[in-house]
């Protein structure tokens, strides 16, 4: 089960009460607040991790140990319990005092829906990839048959030209026929390479306008050639598109797609399984 996201304040953090109640380590409203002897408030988990590195208050550097922490009580707790918040995962609003019970139920429901959504996406991607593989196999067989016919035709043309040159004992004609043969073979090779590159770039957007509304298309582009990215695709621009999708998710825009979080997780997983990116880019994606 995923850890619950912190509640969202109904009023801006720059309000005095909300500002005082914010944990200065994670900059969020604590769900399990504790106070220090120097009268500063933190999340229990945040201050616990901080004290493992340095035995002092992060705000004023006063000596501090885990045993000196205490739960907030009295007027301070009553003020904290009445701060208005809303759930980051649904439309529920209320006070932080009632938030913990709601978040426990909401997270369980969200996890079930997320797992089901991810499983359906995996099945959809698997079906799509299998269909694309079958289509590519048919296209390759057609290309192979066409190339074979062209090669046979060129071979017959060369043989006729060679026989004519020998019959007429014209060395120059034989040399010209050889040049024509090589040129046609080179043309055929270029044509075949262009055809295979066209297949590799199917549905590729040359403008690289992949954003939070086209995360699935970007995932499909990387997934089609995990170990052998086409040379004509600018992998740095693809990396920038991946970073842009992640930045849009973090920005939490109002018009973000409903499944953006799951789609971006799938995109990052596919990117980490590919050979498209440099070591530094892969480290950034992994982070």
Q: What is the mean pLDDT of the chain?
A: 81
- Which of 86, 105, 140 is where one domain is finished? 86
φ, ψ of residue 41 to 5 degrees: the values are -115, 135
Domain annotation covers residue 177: no
Count of structural domains within the chain: 2
Confidence of residue 1 (pLDDT cuts 50, 70, 90): very low
Domain annotation covers residue 269: yes
- Which of 28, 53, 86 is where one domain is finished? 86
CATH code of residue 78: 3.30.40.10
Would you state the pLDDT for residue 180? 77
Structure token pair of residue 254: 């109002």
Owner of token pair 């590159």? 197
Domain annotation covers residue 14: yes
CA dist 230 and 190 (Å) reads 16
Would you state the pLDDT for residue 100? 72
Q: Pick the most confident of 114-128, 172-186, 192-206, 262-276.
A: 262-276
- The C-alpha torsion from 278 through 280 and 286 to 287, rounded to 10°, is -160
Would you state the pLDDT for residue 196? 47
- Which of 86, 101, 134 is where one domain is finished? 86
Would you state the pLDDT for residue 61? 92
Q: In this structure, are residues 5 and 88 in contact, taking their beta carbons and an 8 Å threshold?
A: yes
CA dist 103 and 89 (Å) reads 9
What would you measure as the largest C-alpha separation in the chain, in angstroms?
114
Domain annotation covers residue 176: no
Structure token pair of residue 81: 């319990």
pTM for the whole structure:
0.35
77-116 per-position pLDDT tens digit: 888 888 888 887 788 888 877 777 787 777 666 655 566 6
Domain annotation covers residue 123: no
Domain annotation covers residue 262: yes
Domain annotation covers residue 280: yes
CA dist 182 and 191 (Å) reads 14
Q: Pick the most confident of 15-24, 106-115, 135-144.
A: 135-144
205-250 per-position pLDDT tens digit: 888 888 889 889 889 888 888 888 888 888 898 899 998 999 988 8
Domain annotation covers residue 274: yes
- What is each CA distance from 16 to 12, 22, 90, 210, in whole angstroms? 10, 10, 27, 41
- State which residues form the domain around 33: 8-86
Q: In this structure, are residues 188 and 151 in contact, taking their beta carbons and an 8 Å threshold?
A: yes
CA dist 118 and 265 (Å) reads 9
């Amino acid at each position: 089960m995923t850890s619950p996201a912190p509640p969202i304040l109904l009023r801006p953090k720059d309000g005095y009460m909300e500002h005082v109640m914010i944990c200065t380590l994670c900059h969020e409203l604590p769900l399990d607040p504790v106070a220090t002897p120097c009268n500063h408030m933190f999340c229990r988990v945040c201050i616990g991790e901080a004290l493992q590195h340095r035995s002092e208050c992060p705000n004023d550097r006063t000596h501090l140990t885990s045993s000196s922490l205490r739960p907030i009580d009295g007027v301070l707790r009553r003020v904290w319990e009445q701060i208005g918040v809303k759930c980051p995962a649904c439309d529920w609003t209320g006070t932080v005092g009632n938030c913990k019970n709601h978040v426990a139920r909401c997270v369980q429901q969200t996890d079930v829906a997320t797992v089901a959504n991810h499983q359906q996406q995996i099945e959809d991607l698997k079906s799509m990839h299998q269909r694309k593989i079958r289509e590519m196999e048919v296209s390759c067989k057609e290309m192979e048959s066409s190339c074979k016919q062209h090669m046979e035709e060129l071979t017959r043309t060369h043989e006729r030209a060679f026989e004519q040159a020998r019959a007429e004992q014209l060395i120059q004609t034989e040399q010209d026929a050889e040049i024509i043969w090589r040129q046609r073979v080179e043309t055929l090779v270029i044509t075949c390479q262009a055809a295979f590159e066209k297949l590799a770039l199917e549905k590729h957007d040359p403008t690289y306008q992949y954003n939070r509304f086209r995360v699935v298309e970007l995932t499909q582009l990387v997934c089609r050639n995990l170990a052998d990215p086409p040379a004509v695709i600018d992998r740095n621009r693809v990396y920038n598109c991946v970073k842009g999708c992640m930045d849009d998710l973090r920005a939490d825009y109002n018009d973000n797609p409903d499944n953006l979080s799951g789609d971006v997780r799938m995109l990052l997983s596919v990117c980490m399984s590919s050979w498209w990116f440099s070591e530094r880019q892969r480290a950034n994606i992994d982070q």
